[in-house]
Structure 1
Amino acid sequence: MTAATTSAGPDVERTVTGYLDHLTVERGLAANTIASYRRDLRRYAEFLAAGGVRGLGEVGESDVAAFLTALRSGDEDHPPLSATSAARAVVAVRGLHRFALLDGLVTDDVAAEVRPPAPARRLPKAIPVADIEALLSAAGSVEGPRGLRDRALLELLYGTGARISEAVGLAVDDLDLGSAAVRLAGKGGKERVVPVGSYAVKAVEDYLVRARPALAAASPRGGRSGGALFLNTRGGPLSRQSAWSILRSAAERAGISAELSPHTLRHSFATHLLDGGADVRVVQELLGHASVTTTQVYTLVTVERLREVYATSHPRALR
């Protein structure tokens, strides 16, 4: 090793080879993982070499940060990487510098403060009002008490924005249909009172009068099913899993191909309210969010929808 190399620290490519050997032999990482690390670290070594850096001791935090920027922006030879792919590469680089520090090859871990990029926030999925109507109609198409129960459950989920755990945990006494309101027990035991729309009120009334007594009678306890609002066909409280099944079956009958979950109805409730002009803080209270910043993610859905409508409808949006 020359004096120049000694002052600059260990050769980058040689350190990369030693690190990959360490991951293979001592850590026993999978071959695919090693291949990904090798590809990312080769690009890192090339990036440093292009900047005149040969020894690991010459690398500063700004070099590592610049590499991350290059990953995201791309160049003539490399397309821009997604946040997830760039994060994987940064993890490999951080591991390399940590390895060099622990092995005594360098005196500082210059990559320790360079954070991988956060993946893009996934927007909540909402479905159009027309799909909601088709879903609710399909839920009620089942003959007998089950159809009335299924329609009431989905009407209440969409009409109040309740979480599935809140809905299946409801007692009959939590409803005040006279004033069109329901008391929901949210996370951490926090209760909130939410108004219930007329369609949901009608569906729940029909269920209570025409279906719940028959379901309760199927209980081994002779109709003494407790105070649970939604019952299964054996007269016991409806489970979360059964509620999922009800939604999936209704979606299939309605011909809705989008992937749905009970939370989809909650997201749709919030999005449609904001589309209708509701204040975000009102929606926050209805959803039981502790912070308005949690609720504001729904405004992104509305902005995206507005962009789509503008792009497809406005005569000056064409490119």
Structure 2
Amino acid sequence: MELKAVIDEFILYIQIEKNYSDHTITSYEYDLVQFLSFLRKSNGSTDVACITKTHVRRFIQHQMGMCKQKPRSMHRKISCLKSFTKYCLQEKYLMSDFMASIESPKTDKKLPVYMTLTDLQQLFQMLSEEHSSLSLRNEAMFKLLATSGMRRNELVTLTWEEVDFSSQYIRIYGKGKKERLVPLHPVVLPLLQAYKATRKKHQCHPSQPVFLNKLGKPLDPRGLHAIFKNALRKSGLPPSRFSLHHLRHTFATLMLQGNKENVDLRTLQELLGHESITSTEVYTHVEFEQKKKAIDSFDIF
């Protein structure tokens, strides 16, 4: 069967049956179309049954050589191809898995960048002191992100029906549309209530997004990112140093560092919506690095 037709089927499968996020679907489709294009340009067969490990290895070589793809990007492409071949085997389009012995290139494990408590307090102070038509929205948004560990896409898609003021929690639909409940911080709860009170009646309908742009339209991730960079500038923090995702890292790191009696890795995993606890364990490495710096700076000799 032609690879293009199987790709179309696979994309429909992960969208309808697997309920993958829009971002993952777009990324997987891009990677598979890229692989198909490579096969065509290299005069390789585009029949699924004729694809071999050699084709895949040459694709990886081309991506990392000619296209200068970084190991982290190749890791995603290989993961995509592995999911694709698993589907092909399931549907009997393949008799053997051409990805079976393909390994991802080694990546440097980088510790996540995060804001210190002083940085975060500096940002919070600016947000609470600013007076503009959008200042209450911005304060509610960024304090919610910093106290919940939400992803930026989870914030812009948050609707009023997912905010439970009486039980004081939010319902978040994360990657793969997985659902989790996250308690609202006592400081954020009245901020959200005050912000909602400024909204027009139709904007507070349960189905409506919580956060809107200056035109009253739903925020998009790119717009939210720009607002955050502007908030950093006003706070006296370097916009080039931090991104919105670093607020998520900050939440996780500060939570583990300063609240050990109430937080363990499993709780943090649930709060962040990580599928595997391995993803959460990176924050223990951050803490270790801080301990090492403290020991190294202990100048007694």
TM-score, length-normalised on structure 1? Answer: 0.57
**Partners of 2:149 and 2:128 in 1: how far apart?**
19
Out of 190, 193, 196, the position equivalent to 2:178 is: 190
AA paired with 1:171?
Answer: T
1:155 corresponds to: 143
Is 1:304 aligned to residue 289 of structure 2? yes
Shift of the 186–225 alpha-carbon distance from structure 1 to 2, 3 Å rule, reads closer
Select the structure with the greater relative contact order (CA < 8 A; seq sep ≥ 6): 2
**Equivalent pair of 1:280/1:295 in contact (CA under 8 Å):** yes
1:269 corresponds to: 251
AA paired with 1:310?
Answer: I
Is 1:243 aligned to residue 230 of structure 2? no
1:288 corresponds to: 273
Q: Shift of the alpha carbon at 1:143? A: 2.4
**Partners of 2:122 and 2:199 in 1: how far apart?**
24
**Partners of 1:215 and 1:302 in 2: how far apart?**
46
AA paired with 2:125?
Answer: S
Is 1:233 aligned to residue 221 of structure 2? no
Q: After superposing the two structures, state which structure 1 stretch, 241-250 or 226-235, moved more.
A: 226-235
Q: Shift of the alpha carbon at 1:315? A: 4.7
Q: After superposing the two structures, state which structure 1 stretch, 176-185 or 135-144, moved more.
A: 135-144
Larger Rg: 1
Structure 2 SS opposite 1:118:
coil
1:213 corresponds to: 200
Q: How does 1:51-90 map to 2 (within 5 A)?
A: none
Cα-to-partner distance string for 1:164-219 (whole Å, 9 max, x where unaligned): 0001101111111232211000011100001111122122122112x333995xxx
AA paired with 2:251?
Answer: F
Q: Shift of the alpha carbon at 1:140? A: 4.0
**Equivalent pair of 1:212/1:231 in contact (CA under 8 Å):** no
Shift of the 203–165 alpha-carbon distance from structure 1 to 2, 3 Å rule, reads same
Unaligned stretches of 5+ residues in structure 2: 1-41, 43-70, 72-100
Shift of the 294–116 alpha-carbon distance from structure 1 to 2, 3 Å rule, reads closer
Shift of the 224–189 alpha-carbon distance from structure 1 to 2, 3 Å rule, reads closer
Q: How does 1:19-30 map to 2 (within 5 A)?
A: none
2:56 corresponds to: none
**Partners of 2:206 and 2:281 in 1: how far apart?**
40
Structure 1 SS opposite 2:171:
strand
Q: Shift of the alpha carbon at 1:142? A: 3.8
AA paired with 1:236?
Answer: K
**Partners of 2:218 and 2:186 in 1: how far apart?**
25
Shift of the 116–261 alpha-carbon distance from structure 1 to 2, 3 Å rule, reads closer
Residues paired across the two proteins, number: 200
Q: Percent identity?
A: 32
2:168 corresponds to: 180
AA paired with 1:285?
Answer: E
1:260 corresponds to: 242
2:61 corresponds to: none
**Partners of 1:288 and 1:116 in 2: how far apart?**
24
Q: Shift of the alpha carbon at 1:122? A: 1.1
Q: Shift of the alpha carbon at 1:228? A: 0.9
Q: Shift of the alpha carbon at 1:116? A: 9.7
TM-score, length-normalised on structure 2? Answer: 0.60
Structure 1 SS opposite 2:181:
strand
Shift of the 242–225 alpha-carbon distance from structure 1 to 2, 3 Å rule, reads farther
**Partners of 2:235 and 2:137 in 1: how far apart?**
17
Q: Shift of the alpha carbon at 1:130? A: 1.4
